[in-house]
Amino acid sequence: MLTLKLISEETERVIRGLEKKHFEGAREAVENVLNIDKRRREAQQNFDKTKQEANLLSKQIGGLLKEGQQAAADEIKAKVAVLKQTGKDLQDEMETTERELTALLCTIPNIPNEDVPEGRDASSNVVVKEGGVIPQLPEDALCHWDLCKKYNLIDFDLGVKITGAGFPIYIGKMVRLQRALEAFFLDEARKSGYLEIQPPFVVNQASGYGTGQLPDKEGQMYHAEMDDLYLIPTAEVPVTNIFRDEILDEKDLPIKRCAYSACFRREAGSYGKDVRGLNRLHQFDKVELVRIDKPEHSYDSLKEMLNHVESLCQKLELPYHILLLCGGDISFTAAICYDFEVWSAAQKRWLEVSSVSNFESYQANRLKCRYRHTEDGKIELCHTLNGSALALPRIVATIIENNQTPEGIRVPKALVPYCGFEILDDKNF
């Protein structure tokens, strides 16, 4: 969440940033924050003053009793009792305003970086780079859901029978291709200096709150109510929360972590072509990158992450472009976000396969993730970053569609050592 320091010292910049993100009632929300904080600070000041006065008076009681001035001592005792009750009321006011302030700050999104373009929706996103060669398929080319049925690679209907829509069953060589992609992505991350983590697939409320999924995205997460645990929508949540309530040493930054996980998303409101086949699932596999960095270096880290994800697209021989998201399309917690999309030749559309984001100090403030300066020992909020490297479903969809041949589906050369075959078909043994 945004810091009170930022809101109070750069109020108009914060309001402009929220308006750029098309956050309704931006000025009112910021003014409410400042008013509640004013009440909190006034209560704190009055509490301190009242406590000091009560302590000074209490010190007089013993002396008066020694001098036999019982009446005067009783009068002061009565004043002290009133002051203590006033102090208790002021303490309650402080606690109330603190809760109000935290609850309100949780409803206010991060403000976008100045490089984020104006715009209300995806139509205003800007293509900043593109690469790869778009394949020319014959007119009778099949979409991936038809290819999966033809070669018995994925059974979507069986997944519906067992669980419901969005939970496919992978079969034979497709299972091996999934594992190959996971291993390839993790190996590439390790080569780039990321330490692999195997995290839990469920998290508690504090973790969901720390990375901003709660309370903003509560409706998008599967909730195990009996144990009050949430199925993770991405490995970003458990991996980033490793550093919750931690003070790191400057010399250890940047911290680089990667993790494979299954991901679970309710995806409420999704419909039509966007949910066909592998386009949008409730359960899928993904490799995630997480970075913890110093503020002055976090945008260098962002560039490195973008270069890493781009290299994966290139090695998988996929046509891609990189989008800089506009203010209205950027996520609640991100300060800046780049989306990678690959070209699905049979569907003739771009499919998002990765988002790479810098949250600046927004997540770190919720997490209380800080670092200590080497020179002066000063403690400061970190910057957090994350990016998909990569999410499997749409990568698989694009590989299948773009590489279809009369003999089967050609496997990208980079994956052959991992899966052990060059053609993806129904010949499993």
Distance CA 278, CA 394 (A): 6
Q: Are residues 86 and 135 in the same domain?
A: no
Say if CB 115 and CB 325 are below 8 A apart.
no
Residue 216 has pLDDT above 70, yes or no: no
pLDDT for residue 54 = 84
As for how many domains the chain has, the answer is: 2
The tokens 């990375």 sit on which residue?
Answer: 211
Q: Are residues 82 and 152 in the same domain?
A: no
Say if CB 282 and CB 164 are below 8 A apart.
yes
**CATH code (residue 145):** 3.30.930.10
Give the pLDDT mean for 331-350: 96
Say if CB 193 and CB 254 are below 8 A apart.
no
- C-alpha torsion 139→143→146→152, nearest 10: 120
Residue 275 has pLDDT above 70, yes or no: yes
Provide the CA 24 distance to its chain's centre, in angstroms.
21
The tokens 């069953």 sit on which residue?
Answer: 169
Rg of the Cα atoms in the chain? 28
Give the pLDDT mean for 232-237: 96
For 127: left if phi > 0, alpha if psi spans -120 to 50, otherwise beta; the answer is beta
Q: Are residues 126 and 186 in the same domain?
A: yes
Residue 26 has pLDDT above 70, yes or no: yes
C-alpha angle with apex 305: 296 to 386, nearest 5 degrees? 80
25: which residues sit within 8 A by CB, 6+ positions away? none
Q: Are residues 274 and 231 in the same domain?
A: yes
Give the model's confidence band at 273: pLDDT under 50 very low, under 70 low, under 90 confident, else very high.
low
Give the pLDDT mean for 233-239: 97
Distance CA 241, CA 212 (A): 11
Residue 293 lies inside a defined structural domain of this protein: yes
Residue 195 lies inside a defined structural domain of this protein: yes
Residue 204 has pLDDT above 60, yes or no: yes
pLDDT for residue 119 = 97
Give the pLDDT mean for 252-264: 97
The tokens 């490995």 sit on which residue?
Answer: 235
Give the pLDDT mean for 222-251: 96
More confident residue, 54 or 317: 317
Give the pLDDT mean for 299-314: 98
Residue 272 has pLDDT above 60, yes or no: no
Query: pLDDT of 63-84, one tens digit each?
Result: 877 777 888 877 888 888 888 8
The pLDDT > 70 percentage for the chain reads 97
Residue 234 lies inside a defined structural domain of this protein: yes
**CATH code (residue 45):** 1.10.287.40
Write down which residue in 75, 105, 135 finishes a domain. 105
> Residue 127: which domain range?
122-424
Q: Are residues 171 and 28 in the same domain?
A: no
Q: Are residues 187 and 291 in the same domain?
A: yes
Give the pLDDT mean for 85-92: 91
pLDDT for residue 77 = 83
Q: Are residues 93 and 134 in the same domain?
A: no
Residue 113 lies inside a defined structural domain of this protein: no
Distance CA 405, CA 103 (A): 56
Say if CB 294 and CB 254 are below 8 A apart.
yes
Q: Are residues 39 and 81 in the same domain?
A: yes
Q: Are residues 162 and 275 in the same domain?
A: yes
Residue 62 has pLDDT above 80, yes or no: no
- Range of weakest confidence among 167-171, 270-274, 376-380, 413-417: 270-274
Residue 217 has pLDDT above 70, yes or no: no
* Sheet containing 195-196: order of strands: 126-131, 320-324, 336-344, 349-360, 383-391, 283-293, 255-264, 195-196
Helices 173-191, 392-402: inter-axial angle, 10-degree rounding: 120
Say if CB 54 and CB 80 are below 8 A apart.
yes
Query: pLDDT of 103-141, one tens digit each?
Result: 999 999 999 999 999 999 999 999 999 999 999 999 899
pLDDT for residue 201 = 97
Distance CA 411, CA 381 (A): 44
- pTM value? 0.92
pLDDT for residue 395 = 97
The pLDDT > 90 percentage for the chain reads 85
Give the pLDDT mean for 197-201: 97
pLDDT for residue 61 = 78
Q: Are residues 91 and 151 in the same domain?
A: no
418: which residues sit within 8 A by CB, 6+ positions away? 179, 180, 181, 183, 184
pLDDT for residue 338 = 98
- The average confidence (pLDDT) of the chain is 94
Residue 305 lies inside a defined structural domain of this protein: yes
